Amino acid sequence: MELAIISGKGGTGKSSISAAFATLEKNVLLADCDVDAANLHIIFNPTHEEEEVYIAGQTAIIDYTICTNCGICKDYCRFDAIHFVNNRIEISETTCDGCQLCSRVCPCEAITMVDNDKSRMYSGTFRNGKMVYGRLAPGEENSGKLVNMVRAKVKAIAKSNGLNNIIIDGPPGIGCAAISSITGVNNVLVVTEPTLSGLHDLERTLELVTKFNLKAWVLINKFDLNPDMSLQIEKRCANLGIDIAGKLPFEPVFVDAMVNCKSVLEWAPESAISKELKLIWSRINAPQA
């Protein structure tokens, strides 16, 4: 079973839930596809068996020993990445999109394109199986492609190690990285919380999941903080024909576990929340009619 856990927005408890599922059974293959803010490696401290560079596009740089400061490149940059700063032409690393146009129009050939090579993909072993995670360096882009790279690695490791239980901690939102995280999985668990913005983001996320014709589940985290809104979410899901996988109460033990680099199932296995998570896992894994 390949389960992707996503959310419409950050801070819903998605990664804590992914961590809990990753410690329910042995021989799990865990993929942290939240590449802009990967954090499961902090909890699980996996061995680093492989490290691969991810080239996240290119950035233009100027050779000032050649540049005549003519400003032609500035006129062509449609990303507004080139400016005169103290009368000298400069390219903003963070704004440059890597389109290469300036390097083509520069009459002096003073601009070269360099790879953005700070992002990485790591794979290794953690206490319950294998783990793959991507880390996009600050300012680097194309997170969806890095997620694709993580997913391809997961597929290869699953095949060579005979692992069937794959858990993907996806990114929040409905962008390219989220799409890359859910493509081709058996189940998608959308984690939400009972707020108006939670409901709004859930609607957008479910729209995305149903477009891909994937089996979707919804988990309402901290449902007891706003029972009326939780009920509204349940009704909305019923209207859409989406199953509620379960509801978790607000429980500080969840945070305590993460602070101590454990999943809640490891930290407080007898807690009500751990028991509910086990039920949710078995619901999702039960053969579907």
Q: Classify burial at 80, counting beta carbons within 10 Å of its beta carbon; exposed 0-12, middle 13-18, buried 19 or more.
A: exposed
* Choice from 61, 101, 199, 268 touching ligand SF4 (CB under 6 A): 101
Least separation in angstroms between CB 76 and ligand SF4: 6
Q: Backbone dihedral region of 75: left (phi > 0), alpha (psi from -120 to 50 degrees) or beta?
A: alpha
5 near 166, Cβ under 8 Å? Answer: no
* Choice from 111, 146, 149, 191 touching ligand SF4 (CB under 6 A): 111
CA–CA gap between residue 56 and residue 39 (Å, rounded): 20
> Cα torsion at 240, 242, 248, 249 (round to 10°)?
20
Restricted to residues 6-35, the positions that interact with ligand SF4 (CB under 6 A) are: none
> Cα torsion at 129, 143, 233, 218 (round to 10°)?
-20
Q: Which stretch binds ligand SF4 (CB under 6 A): 25-33, 101-109, 188-196, 262-270?
A: 101-109
Q: Convert residues 45-64 into a mask of x (bound to ligand SF4 by CB under 6 A) and - (unbound).
A: ---------------x-x--
Least separation in angstroms between CB 62 and ligand SF4: 5
Closest CB to ligand SF4 among 19 and 111?
Answer: 111
* Choice from 55, 108, 214, 268 touching ligand SF4 (CB under 6 A): 108
Residues near ligand SF4 (CB under 6 A), total: 27
Least separation in angstroms between CB 288 and ligand SF4: 47
CA–CA gap between residue 187 and residue 34 (Å, rounded): 17
E strands in the chain: 2-7, 28-32, 50-54, 58-62, 82-85, 88-91, 111-115, 119-126, 129-135, 165-172, 187-192, 215-221, 243-248
Least separation in angstroms between CB 94 and ligand SF4: 11
Looking at this protein, which amino acid is placed at residue 255? V
* Choice from 100, 164, 197, 282 touching ligand SF4 (CB under 6 A): 100
* Choice from 77, 157, 178, 189 touching ligand SF4 (CB under 6 A): 77
Q: For residue 14, what are its two tokens?
A: 């998605």
Q: Under the criterion CB under 6 A, does residue 73 sit at the interface with ligand SF4?
A: yes
Restricted to residues 238-277, the positions that interact with ligand SF4 (CB under 6 A) are: none
CA–CA gap between residue 129 and residue 149 (Å, rounded): 19
Least separation in angstroms between CB 180 and ligand SF4: 24
Q: For residue 255, what are its two tokens?
A: 């945070």
* Choice from 42, 50, 52, 79 touching ligand SF4 (CB under 6 A): 79
Closest CB to ligand SF4 among 69 and 164?
Answer: 69
Q: Under the criterion CB under 6 A, does residue 72 sit at the interface with ligand SF4?
A: yes
CA–CA gap between residue 1 and residue 69 (Å, rounded): 58
Nearest to 18 by CA among 1, 39, 37: 39
Give the interface with ligand SF4 as residue ranges (CB under 6 A). 60, 62, 67-73, 76-77, 79, 81-82, 89, 91, 96-102, 106, 108, 110-111
